[in-house]
Structure 1
Amino acid sequence: MLMEETVRAGAMVRAIGQRSMRPVEKLNIAAIGNVTAQLHVHVVGRRRDDGLWPDPVWGRGPAIPYEPEVRDELLAVIRKG
């Protein structure tokens, strides 16, 4: 079940990239982390023009929130599944 949900999450990340006209070039999937005790999986879409490429994104720089209208559009894509 975890693999199925991870594949679905990856497809969603790719769909959001397509929808935003910024297609994902590399999909990173990892079950990493020593801070959170429970099992969790990271699914991260990467592009060569992202600010941290090719370095890892974990713990690097502050989170930058989406503008409300962009956030709402992305949430609509996620809800459609």
Structure 2
Amino acid sequence: MLPGQKAGFELDPRLENESQPVMWLGLCELRLRDDRRWPWLILVPQRPGIEEMHDLTPLDQAVLTFETNMVSKALKEATGCTKINCAALGNVVRQLHVHVVARSEGDAGWPGPVWGYGERVPYRREDLHKLAETIRSRL
């Protein structure tokens, strides 16, 4: 169990299978999506049964906003990207999670959304770990 993880919390298997843990932030576990087409981080609030932001307590909502902003800034600095996209869709994976994606002109699918564009292209393990370490060092 992660530090601060609430009893009964379980990470959705789809999130677990397509991402790697980066670090514990406080409210959220920060994960790196294993898709080298875009630097893509995922924040997962460690609260059981939460599907929507409004399901969180007001304090947890504020912490989620703070952590999302902190991660967005770190990702932009680490990648030098043109734009940061943040979203919490949850149409397929209902568990509340926030995507933070670095986008740059000319990347795969630019300027369209990342969802539904092609097939995931996994990182080489050493590149995945290097990016995770770069993000950790900026947080």
Fold similarity call, TM over 0.5: yes
The residue number in structure 1 matching 2:72 is 10
Alignment RMSD: 1.5
Within the alignment, does 1:50 sit opposite 2:94 as a pair?
A: no
Query: Deviation string for 1:15-43 (max 9, x for gaps)?
Result: 330xxxxx210111112131122221111
The 5 A counterparts of 1:1-81 are 1-17=63-79, 23-80=80-137, 81=139
- In 2, the alpha carbon distance for the partners of 1:39 and 1:30 equals 11
Query: Secondary structure of 1:13's match?
Result: helix
- In 2, the alpha carbon distance for the partners of 1:36 and 1:65 equals 20
The residue number in structure 1 matching 2:36 is none
Q: What number of residue pairs does the alignment pair up?
A: 76
Structure with the higher helix share, 1 or 2: 1
Higher gyration radius (CA): 2
Structure with the higher strand share, 1 or 2: 2
Query: Secondary structure of 1:29's match?
Result: strand
| Farther off after superposition, 49-58 or 61-70 | 61-70
Query: Secondary structure of 2:94's match?
Result: coil
**Structure 2: 5+ residue runs without aligned partners?**
1-62
